[in-house]
Structure 1
């Protein structure tokens, strides 16, 4: 039985992440059987892709995707009613360099579709009315208003119905959203719509705060933004889903410039959305493999990680995984008494240390026969926790549009464009740091006195009370235990 997934992307930065993520899917489908045959690979990209006619002779894969952005955002690969009228063919491989625009804080590309290798169905591309822009759409409440007052809500609903009704068995939804502006309001409103229409489907939300913090933002604007973050996180976490706050900054809500996370074997410009978004795409591609393999359902992963009222989880990524061909995966794991070394970099803010998880989903890409060794490791080191594990022989396969480079010794033998990776999707008391820090920043009397007129007072009180309760759920209860707590997928 197929277990399709529908993906939604809200906001410019989320669409940057999505473009890199879809390129992983495109690369995995290359040199595979013809589209008329079912693709059977251990990461099963076809759960996220659909077949579209591209003329009389062949079909192509298009994402089961709804992308929302400002009007004027360009999309270079759109098919028209299942007939190709794209500016570039489906099998085009990106050969050029990404065009960059020098700004005060680094090179920034404004066109996420310029490096997207898959074509999109017309129902995938939605834009806000022309009156909305970065300045008028800066708060969570702006998105709530747009959903109520414009036709974007009906367009989203129609696209949702289109992509979901063609599924044989939709297992759930993946939502990527910019947390720092009105797109978080659109996402939370859509999330409520999905939960009403699909009450039993799994939902995973990846939420991205402002990528470079508040270093050039005035005091009152920052305070408005903090309250917007609080109400957004409150609403996203209120709909029985798994929420992942993702940022390369160690601190996301504070006034002073925050340090960025760094990886030991790769370098990138954290201010460049084209480059920084590729890190998150690698993380999403790695951890989502667990429920795209066919052996584990998305709802099972979500239920394991969100039990006892803990919807907020954290993500750590090992990229590239420092495992050599001359060392077995068991030997590699034996050097880790727990997953707390520098090789696993936190993609969630405020994770200064690593506490023992209540539950975790560990996914490995690019290591043959990883499942047995990984299960043995988890049973030995995390016997009292709820563990879900997933190992896949296919690594992360990149092309020339992917900006991250790593030393040649980390590429898989004979495959320079393929690298091993490992993700740790965890529910732990670390999540309380995200919530308590946001509460502290948004609850000051000065904040409420000067900027709360932009928000509904009852909604502010409700969001603060909810976030406070959530933070207590991570600190007052003991980790869940299970006598037989490991589950794995077949490779």
Structure 2
């Protein structure tokens, strides 16, 4: 067994994670239903890579994500930090015997389950009733009305990532960062989160939970790490990554650094601008130093990007933006969850499986240490043999990584492309061999091509679960096919209209990332390292000594020079 442990740190990372696990839960449900499309019953995906089997004290078998989620205290909404499956009550306060005065207890009322969570509870109770032979049963018309109400409610009222989570979690999975005595909005920079991990017993508690999932694994394959790097949780994640590097030195980490559009709002003053740019530089430098491969994800205006041409996204809603990024992360991580098959894959439903170590080594290579990869996505992916007015598959891939150059020729680029659920122009699902032939033809006719491209293909599309936002445009059909004429008065479309979509994503190590790296190196020099730098005092208040800042500059300089080998970049220590 080659297990993956998933780590989610911070608010937006957990929003993405909630959608990600909903996809997995939907795939599990579709695979177990004999009446469903055979493509879902023959996924050739090993869910045991991500999930663990267990048993409650009552002897009930469980199947839960091998997940550690770290969030702000109070960020779980109506969900208990111990989840819902394991109902062991946590010990209450002991009787006060040294105090003779009066004692008063102040307790906040638990949050009520929203319409979607109530529906989940009803379905579970109905399932138990069916087992006991006492099912009442509900008509399809009643269920349809409820679905419409739920979709409308979620599109307008999601506050917490647990509001739309359809997954059960293990009691060790959900950790709330308590005792900070501040609002989540104030936990907004690297400096304020720098000691959050080490204070008290937080670091020990978090590492102990991580150790629980690692030690019960037969042969851990690696860590799938998602961090909201827009605020203080970046520092928490960096300290956790440092611990992982020390304790699990030979275990690869694939790190996604994510942020929502709302965290990248326009800054009104120069002081705020310097503050934010130094946070971005320090955050990226610290995170990148503990992993061989880091993937920045999060556009400042997702709804205005080419990546959302077929989508209707509201930037101010994390529920919306995280759904796009979760779909891309699900697709990008398929290669190390595929069942390995032989070299001839035409008779199988997957092709191009690779473990996480091979995946990271492939993109990082030996020449590009601490590599930054770009994440591109086509959502939904176009048909393989589209009309003349449609762009090619490569043309539809658009970056979800910010500050990326367009139309860059990098002969040293390394790519991993993942395509699943691809459709032909007649609306039928394409075979593995058809996808391979199409991609080979695209690269064969390309003026420039990467030094190396690894292709992974799966016939199973991305399922759209009920609690997915209504964000598809009126040119997207029921199975993600792109229509010639739009639906009238039916945009945006959600899970009741769109059941699945084909996806194409690409991770690439390319010099197109240079603007991202050069901006961070330039800001560190301008605001932190130069004599009389405006941000020097701020960085000292964040606890960074001069030698630490020079080390950051040295690392960023090397990353830039590796991507641009012929440039002359002076060392920061000169």
1:454 aligns with 2:541: yes
1:163-182 → structure 2 map (5 Å cutoff): 163-182=213-232
**Which of 215, 220, 224 is residue 266 of structure 2 equivalent to?**
215
Q: 1:335 to 1:151 in 2, by over 3 A?
A: farther
Q: Please state how far the C-alpha of 1:418 moved relative to its aligned partner.
A: 0.9
Partner of 1:483: none
Counterpart of 2:535 in 1: which secondary structure? Answer: helix
1:28-67 per-position Cα deviation (integer Å, ceiling 9, x unaligned):
0004349xxxx97323333111223368685342111111
Partner of 1:238: 289
8 Å CA contact retained: 2:222, 2:252: yes
Partner of 1:372: 436
**Which of 69, 72, 77 is residue 71 of structure 2 equivalent to?**
69
Partner of 2:398: 345
- Take 2:551 and 2:304, find their aligned partners in 1: how far apart are those partners? 31
1:264 aligns with 2:309: yes
Partner of 1:466: 555
Q: Please state how far the C-alpha of 1:477 moved relative to its aligned partner.
A: 6.7
8 Å CA contact retained: 1:61, 1:118: no
Partner of 1:297: 355
1:423-434 → structure 2 map (5 Å cutoff): 423-434=505-516
- Take 1:200 and 1:233, find their aligned partners in 2: how far apart are those partners? 22
Q: Please state how far the C-alpha of 1:89 moved relative to its aligned partner.
A: 4.4
- Take 1:90 and 1:469, find their aligned partners in 2: how far apart are those partners? 56
Partner of 1:436: 518
8 Å CA contact retained: 1:43, 1:394: no
Partner of 1:397: 463
- Take 1:132 and 1:157, find their aligned partners in 2: how far apart are those partners? 24
Counterpart of 1:193 in 2: which secondary structure? Answer: helix
Partner of 1:27: 26
Which deviates further from its counterpart, 172-181 or 407-416?
A: 407-416
Partner of 2:454: 388
- Take 1:365 and 1:377, find their aligned partners in 2: how far apart are those partners? 18
**Which of 330, 342, 351 is residue 285 of structure 1 equivalent to?**
330
1:311-336 per-position Cα deviation (integer Å, ceiling 9, x unaligned):
1000110001121xxxxx3x459999
Partner of 1:13: 12
1:233-263 per-position Cα deviation (integer Å, ceiling 9, x unaligned):
1121112431111112269xxxxxx965552
- Take 1:267 and 1:196, find their aligned partners in 2: how far apart are those partners? 44
Q: 1:454 to 1:237 in 2, by over 3 A?
A: same
Q: 1:261 to 1:415 in 2, by over 3 A?
A: closer
Q: 1:211 to 1:250 in 2, by over 3 A?
A: closer
Q: 1:125 to 1:281 in 2, by over 3 A?
A: same
For the aligned residue pairs, the C-alpha RMSD in angstroms reads 3.4
1:156 aligns with 2:206: yes
- Take 1:137 and 1:89, find their aligned partners in 2: how far apart are those partners? 34
Partner of 1:315: 375
- Take 2:307 and 2:42, find their aligned partners in 1: how far apart are those partners? 35
Q: 1:128 to 1:193 in 2, by over 3 A?
A: same
Q: 1:299 to 1:375 in 2, by over 3 A?
A: farther
Q: 1:409 to 1:159 in 2, by over 3 A?
A: same
8 Å CA contact retained: 2:415, 2:450: no
Q: Please state how far the C-alpha of 1:18 moved relative to its aligned partner.
A: 0.6
1:366-425 per-position Cα deviation (integer Å, ceiling 9, x unaligned):
024235325634763577622211100110101221113243436258994111010011
Q: Please state how far the C-alpha of 1:442 moved relative to its aligned partner.
A: 3.8
Counterpart of 1:8 in 2: which secondary structure? Answer: strand
8 Å CA contact retained: 2:477, 2:498: no
Q: 1:290 to 1:18 in 2, by over 3 A?
A: same
Q: 1:377 to 1:241 in 2, by over 3 A?
A: farther
1:97-116 per-position Cα deviation (integer Å, ceiling 9, x unaligned):
47579xxxxx7842110100
Residue ranges of structure 1 left out of the alignment (5+ in a row): 102-106, 252-257, 324-328, 479-491
Counterpart of 1:362 in 2: which secondary structure? Answer: strand
- Take 2:478 and 2:19, find their aligned partners in 1: how far apart are those partners? 20
**Which of 154, 157, 161 is residue 112 of structure 1 equivalent to?**
161
Structure number with bigger Rg: 2
1:200-230 per-position Cα deviation (integer Å, ceiling 9, x unaligned):
2221111124523131554323322321221
8 Å CA contact retained: 1:250, 1:351: no
- How many aligned residue pairs are there? 455
8 Å CA contact retained: 2:258, 2:296: yes
Counterpart of 2:505 in 1: which secondary structure? Answer: strand
1:225 aligns with 2:276: yes
Q: 1:172 to 1:65 in 2, by over 3 A?
A: same
1:111-151 per-position Cα deviation (integer Å, ceiling 9, x unaligned):
11010010111111101123243355222233331112132
8 Å CA contact retained: 1:208, 1:247: yes
Relative to total residues, which structure has the larger strand share, 1 or 2?
1
1:139-164 per-position Cα deviation (integer Å, ceiling 9, x unaligned):
22333311121322111111111111
- Take 1:100 and 1:376, find their aligned partners in 2: how far apart are those partners? 42
- Take 1:229 and 1:443, find their aligned partners in 2: how far apart are those partners? 13
**Which of 145, 156, 174 is residue 125 of structure 1 equivalent to?**
174
- Take 1:194 and 1:153, find their aligned partners in 2: how far apart are those partners? 12
Give TM-score, length-normalised by structure 2.
0.71
Give TM-score, length-normalised by structure 1.
0.83
Q: 1:180 to 1:84 in 2, by over 3 A?
A: same
Q: Please state how far the C-alpha of 1:188 moved relative to its aligned partner.
A: 1.2
Q: 1:447 to 1:369 in 2, by over 3 A?
A: farther
Counterpart of 1:388 in 2: which secondary structure? Answer: strand
